[in-house]
Amino acid sequence: MIVEKTAIPGVVEIYPDVFNDERGYFFESFRDTTFSDKGLPSIFRQVNQASSQKDVIRGLHYQLEYPQGKLIRVISGRIRDVAVDIRKRSPTYGHYEISQLTDKNNKMLYIPEGFAHGYIVESDLAVVEYKCTDIYVPDDQFGINWKDSELNIPWGISTPILSEKDKKLPYLKEQKYLPTYK
């Protein structure tokens, strides 16, 4: 497994060792000792899976009382995954990292606590799995609007498919509830 740092400390791209043969492929998407040895979380408390159609944006979401580090991978399809540093006083506050995750490249992205996370589906359909370091608590769900002009994230679309909740999310400068950089 190869772990590559990104421009934002803590956000890493993970390339598993993939074994291909005439039957298909095999890889370990997670092993606690390997992750621990690489300085990554080795305990995940919840695993989520979402299926979405082309042009769906999910996010940008985060939690405060029960912050979640997230290990994201695509089971089927292709997404553009986005991690935004929203930690007050962080040297990379307001910066984002984009990673192309597909069922062909098998790349995974780890996003630590204190980041907003979202993605856009670029294939006709995508199935995304993400492991979370803490549980989801509905009353602890916050977010940033996908079209925040100060963030200027290149989603590649002007009219995505969004949930009603995501349509109403505030811009970063309007969000009153943000994590603090430690």
**92: which DSSP letter?**
T
Enumerate residues 6+ apart whose C-beta is below 8 A from 176.
none
What amino acid positions are annotated as catalytic residues? 61, 130
d(CA 142, CA 166): 10
Enumerate residues 6+ apart whose C-beta is below 8 A from 129.
47, 48, 49, 72, 73, 74, 75
Reference 178, options 144, 128, 134, 131; nearest CA is 144
Joined tokens for residue 31: 């092993």
What is the H or E stretch that residue 164 is in?
A: helix 164-167
